[in-house]
């Protein structure tokens, strides 16, 4: 080891780092653990996880006269009372770091 130059040591260290990086990449691919598994998981990326899953598209229509003074609508798709907001976005935001909130529709206050 005393006969190795600085250049030789740098080359050897570079090869070692590259080998470790490639090994970790292959391990992550083979085991499916990936470095962004939670964020990149295809099943976890579905926005609507349980509301009207039998429908090809979820559409809710409201007449403005029926809304009254104010209604609060869900935009996170986690509400048990969908399409109305029940505050489920708070838990979703805490778990995911997201910042989604409800849609509030009401009469303009003067």
- Would you name the residues annotated as active-site residues? 57
Output helix, strand, coil percentages for the chain, rounded to the nearest 5: 40, 10, 50
* Whether residues 45 and 93 fall in one domain: yes
Domain co-membership, 54 together with 17? no
The residue range of the domain holding 48 is 41-109
CA distance 72 to 3: 74
The pLDDT tens digits for 46-83 are 777 788 888 888 888 888 877 888 899 998 888 999 89
Tens-place pLDDT, residues 7-44: 888 899 999 999 998 998 888 877 777 655 555 555 55
CATH at 55:
3.40.5.90
End-to-end CA distance of the chain: 83
Same-domain status, 13 and 59: no
Query: 48 and 32 in one domain?
Result: no
Residues 6+ apart with CB under 8 A from 40: 34
Asked if residue 47 and residue 94 are part of one domain, the reply reads: yes
Note whether 85 and 104 are same-domain residues.
Answer: yes
Of 54, 67, 60, 97, give the one whose Cα is nearest residue 81. Answer: 60
């Amino acid at each position: 080891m005393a006969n190795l130059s600085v250049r030789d040591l740098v080359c050897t260290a570079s090869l070692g780092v590259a080998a470790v990086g490639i090994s970790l990449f292959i391990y992550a691919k083979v085991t499916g653990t990936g470095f962004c598994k939670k964020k990149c998981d295809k099943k976890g990326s579905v926005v609507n996880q349980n509301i009207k899953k039998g429908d090809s598209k979820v559409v809710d229509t409201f007449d403005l006269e029926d809304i009254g003074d104010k209604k609060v609508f869900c935009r996170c798709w986690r509400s048990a009372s969908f399409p109305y907001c029940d505050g489920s976005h708070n838990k979703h935001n805490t778990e995911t770091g997201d910042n989604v909130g409800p849609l509030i529709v009401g009469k303009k206050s003067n």
